[in-house]
Amino acid sequence: MDEKIDASNKVQTIQMFINLVLFSRSFSESNLFPRKGFQNQVQVKNPNLETMEEDILYHLSLSTKTHNLPEMFGDIKFVCVGGSANRMKAFAQFIHKELELSGNPEEITDICEGTDRYCMYKVGPVLSISHGMGVPSISIMLHELIKLLHHAQCQDVVLFRLGTSGGVGLAPGTVVVTEKAVDYSFQPQFEQVVLGKVITRSTELDEEVASELLQCSSELQNIPTVIGNTMCTHDFYEGQGRLDGALCSFSHEDKLEYLRKAYDAGVRNIEMESTVFAAMCRVCAAVVCVTLLNRFEGDQIKSPHDVLVEYQQRPQILVSHFIKKIFLFYQQFVVLFSYN
């Protein structure tokens, strides 16, 4: 990068810096990522961890005693999670190319190769991790991921869930950036049973992140994007009102009535992980999912394979554009002040 930046570019870069500071401060209400100024370490809300000599992140095949987590992960700024192991490997290779990092993206290695539960790839300041399917699988991964970021002393981290979903009144291929993750009753909450008692946690996400992603979509071609609520269910069939499962106790009319209620409540897509992701990561996170079909028009996914592959790449392209803008800004910022 040329170290000589003209005056107009300096002004633009300084303005970007101001915007990023404001953007960073918008995360101040997060439970797990409290802000005290500009650099803030990921926190955990469990005092029991302080008394442990070793924390074994069993499902990630990592440990505080056998691995130097600050050295391995301390520079992480963006974490992208998604259900499919193959998809998250492909995303890691894609973001490697987008950020123009050194090395061969085809040679990236799975940090979690010691386990078959999840995969994890580190690409510069980006961590790409699979989480499996459904709330139980992603919640296990999130517990250990958040502890990993804490032990690694990571600061100012933004998390994204990249996924697929069923659209509610949207054409297939539309990307939905979640405003609120809602449950089956369209409430922005996640219910967790703890020691036989139901604990309710908020699932509201940061509006600034969603707005920035929407702006990024306008800078790209063929990435139709909307902001809307995402309904999280406990299964793919009955919980989502599908008529084609092994069990079905409702009619086509019942299904349409429920979907109409969901649409009126602001729901624009349905998936199976967003509420726990939002509850655990809160306002330093975003859920970005593409729709594979319009549920008002059917239950089965009938698009050709090549079309589905292209659809699944849309959230990756959008989030990578977001990451790339901030990554390049940091480079400009360093050059600007080293030049001065």
pTM as predicted: 0.86
CA-based diameter of the chain, in Å?
Answer: 70
Average pLDDT of the residues in 23-34: 41
Confidence of residue 321 (pLDDT cuts 50, 70, 90): very high
Confidence of residue 170 (pLDDT cuts 50, 70, 90): very high
Which pLDDT does position 1 carry in this prediction? Answer: 45
Query: Is 162 annotated in some ligand binding site?
Result: yes
Least confidently predicted of 50-54, 257-261, 271-275: 50-54
Confidence of residue 335 (pLDDT cuts 50, 70, 90): low
Which pLDDT does position 332 carry in this prediction? Answer: 67
Share of the chain above pLDDT 90, in %: 77
pLDDT digits (tens, 9 = 90+) for 112-130: 999 989 999 999 999 999 9
Distance from CA of residue 162 to its chain's centroid?
A: 5
Which pLDDT does position 334 carry in this prediction? Answer: 58
Q: Are 275 and 203 in contact (CB under 8 A)?
A: yes
Which pLDDT does position 14 carry in this prediction? Answer: 45
Q: Buried b / exposed e across 199-236, counting CB within 10 Å, b at 16+? A: eebbbbbbebbbebbeebbeeeeebebbbbbbbbbeeb
Query: Is 221 annotated in some ligand binding site?
Result: no
Query: Is 117 annotated in some ligand binding site?
Result: yes
> 175 or 11, which is more confident?
175
Separation CA 216–CA 322 (nearest Å)? 6
Domains along the chain with CATH numbers: 7-339 (3.40.50.1580)
Query: Does 3 score more than 90 pLDDT?
Result: no
Separation CA 53–CA 20 (nearest Å)? 37
pLDDT digits (tens, 9 = 90+) for 181-237: 999 999 999 999 999 999 999 998 988 889 999 999 999 999 999 999 999 999 999
